[in-house]
Structure 1
Amino acid sequence: MTQQGGIDMQTFDPVTARLLVVLAESGSIGRAADRQNIAPSAVSRRISDLEARLGVSLFDRSTQGVRLTPAGRIYVEGVRTILREIADLDTAMADFAEGRRGNLRLACTSSALAGRLPELLADYAQRYPTIALDIQEMNAAGALLAIDDGQADLAIVADNNDFSRYDTRVFEDDQVYVLSAPDHPIAERLRTGKPIAFEEVAGHEVVGIHHSGALDRLLSQAAASAGRTLGERVNVESFPSLVRMVEAGFGIGFLRATSLHLLTPTDLVAAPLENDWAKRQLLVAHRRSGPVSRSMASFLDLCTQTYRPTAIS
């Protein structure tokens, strides 16, 4: 009986394997069912049948959701390895299949989609019309996990993540800007458009943006390093909402360069932060150990050819 990572390959079920990984990530049968477009009862049944066959519990269940047991963590890691190898094999074979349509699967953050990515994809699609594009929008952690699990070929995320397992290159500069209403005390300074230090603005009330997001983490770390606590009167979940609340006078806000287009219909003023940590970038990443298909290589080449560094003076 063929075994891999402690998993019986003769009874390996890819559908249940994918459900197992999604359930481990989401911690909720309902969310896993939604993501895989399957009934929650079917998720429960498949996991219960697998546990019965293995003779071990893979999840601890509670009213708050599910959590992997020690045995479950080992099993899920083995499943992820197998799913990655299957995805890598498909990628390798695609380059040998004459006449077969290629595909490129991108996992990217909303920042990437707000920047130059849509236009770049349009250019790519025109140059390579036989390549099918699959674009998944998610947070940075989810995007990197997607390439770890073989569910995406490339991820485009902010540079303040752990890239120790990946090869990366710069996709786009994404400087952090501070913005305010035109009658705010710092408006006159921002109106000059000259870079401003974070320490100059950190004492003002701030409109916060979804806690645990990449920008929120960046600002929280900067405030901690400066010995400050950002005063948040309100907290919102999207950048359009942040712009509206700054307009309404609830405080200053912070946006990345890729979201500055949201200011066009407003009278808000903005200037870039001069701090080195604010000169952030979006990176395109892929697994260091994974194969690079022709569709991936052509996209990476196009990214490099079209990248233009942004000068902040």
Structure 2
Amino acid sequence: MPPFDPVTARLVVAVSRYGSIGRAAEHENIAASAVSRRISEVEARLGVALFDRSLQGVRLTPAGETYVAGCREILREIADLHTEMVDFAIGTRGSLRLACTSSALSGRLPELLATFAESHRGISLDIQEMSASLALGAMDDGQADIAFVADNNDVGRFETEMFEDDNVLVLCSPEHPLAERLRSGRPIAFDEVAQHEVVGIHHSGALDRLLSAAAARSGRALGERVRVETFPSLVRMVEAGFGIGFLRSTSLHLLAGTDVISVRLSDDWAIRKLLAVRRRSSPLSRPIREFLALARKSHVPLG
């Protein structure tokens, strides 16, 4: 049996994560044909098929599931060994790998990273924006040091700490029937706003899951007059009077320069937190320790 090849192992894990050779190749910045060739070669050496291939993509065979689980464990050990070696140096060099949701990159994280980079010029920052599920998968695979995800994700297997308030807000235009109520600044219950038409968004993130679950519990179907692709577009359509909208407090800056009125939802499910997530027992390099210390020092909870 040839020696373990971490590059091929990382590609196999990436293909299993994305369910597509093309998407994995794009993420790993390598030609899809090269990924396919490496997988075929390792399958030939092992004498088993790791993936079932179809027009819809690829999925792991039972043998592939076992192989990927082993690859992940070895890749985590390699990542941990690298992290431990960093601390043997003076500490002025190293890297910080972050897997971030869009919500995280809409809040205080960019400014925090700029502050960190200014005082740690020898530290390279690898910042990747992805969905929460992919961010947590990157943690499992040892591809990130810290992930930033909302607290309604399954994070029980990780070490977590609160990074930022990320409450759910309801928005309306100054002419909307809810405007006077929202101007009071008092948090409002979801049931009080759910009967109004909503500006929806083509998005499958944490906010959508929260709103869908809340609507199901209240027995309501949210009426969507219009649907947009991005949160800036949502704010513009709300401002134009097409309905109410919902936004996370990390995106509150999008309201700057608009007449849109916002207030926090009072429901327990809408009082959310953005978490900094790490693998349990993974070593803490100096860059990770100092970044987390800066994050704790600079955090100011919202009222």
1:205 aligned residue: 197
- In structure 1, what is the Cα distance between the partners aligned to 2:101 and 2:260? 25
CA displacement at 1:232 relative to structure 2: 2.3
User: 1:210·1:216 contact (CA, 8 Å) conserved in 2?
Assistant: no
- In structure 1, what is the Cα distance between the partners aligned to 2:91 and 2:51? 44
TM-score, normalised to structure 2, is: 0.95
User: After TM superposition, where is structure 1 displaced by more than 6 Å over at least 4 residues in a row?
Assistant: none
Matched, 1:286 2:272: no
1:215 aligned residue: 207
2:298 aligned residue: 306
Gaps (5+ residues) in structure 2?
none
- In structure 1, what is the Cα distance between the partners aligned to 2:205 and 2:75? 28
Distance verdict in 2 for CA 1:184–1:99, change over 3 Å: closer
CA displacement at 1:281 relative to structure 2: 1.0
TM-score, normalised to structure 1, is: 0.92
CA displacement at 1:233 relative to structure 2: 2.9
Matched, 1:184 2:176: yes
1:139-288 maps to which residues of 2 (within 5 A)?
A: 139-288=131-280
CA displacement at 1:166 relative to structure 2: 1.0
Letter in 2 for 1:103: S
How many corresponding residue pairs?
303
Please say which of residues 78-87 and 35-44 is displaced more in the overlay. Answer: 35-44
Corresponding residue SS for 1:167: strand
- In structure 1, what is the Cα distance between the partners aligned to 2:28 and 2:114? 28
Please say which of residues 122-131 and 174-183 is displaced more in the overlay. Answer: 122-131
**Per-residue displacement from partner, 1:104-160 (whole Å, max 9, x unpaired)?**
111111211111112211222233332222111111111111111111100111111
1:60 aligned residue: 52
CA displacement at 1:247 relative to structure 2: 2.8
1:36-47 maps to which residues of 2 (within 5 A)?
A: 36-47=28-39
- In structure 2, what is the Cα distance between the partners aligned to 1:156 and 1:146? 11
Matched, 1:49 2:49: no
Corresponding residue SS for 2:220: coil
CA displacement at 1:253 relative to structure 2: 0.6
CA displacement at 1:100 relative to structure 2: 6.2
CA displacement at 1:224 relative to structure 2: 1.6
User: 2:104·2:148 contact (CA, 8 Å) conserved in 1?
Assistant: yes
Corresponding residue SS for 1:120: helix
1:86 aligned residue: 78
Letter in 2 for 1:306: S
- In structure 2, what is the Cα distance between the partners aligned to 1:151 and 1:310? 32
Letter in 1 for 2:15: L
1:297 aligned residue: 289
User: 1:57·1:69 contact (CA, 8 Å) conserved in 2?
Assistant: yes
1:114 aligned residue: 106
**Per-residue displacement from partner, 1:215-240 (whole Å, max 9, x unpaired)?**
00011111122222222233333211
1:125 aligned residue: 117
**Per-residue displacement from partner, 1:224-278 (whole Å, max 9, x unpaired)?**
2222222223333321121122233332110011111111222221111111211
Letter in 2 for 1:238: T
CA displacement at 1:99 relative to structure 2: 6.5
Letter in 1 for 2:25: A
Letter in 1 for 2:145: D
Letter in 1 for 2:219: G
User: 1:197·1:273 contact (CA, 8 Å) conserved in 2?
Assistant: yes
User: 1:211·1:217 contact (CA, 8 Å) conserved in 2?
Assistant: no
2:13 aligned residue: 21
- In structure 2, what is the Cα distance between the partners aligned to 1:195 and 1:30? 46
RMSD: 1.6
CA displacement at 1:26 relative to structure 2: 1.1
Distance verdict in 2 for CA 1:219–1:99, change over 3 Å: closer
CA displacement at 1:211 relative to structure 2: 4.0
Gaps (5+ residues) in structure 1?
1-7
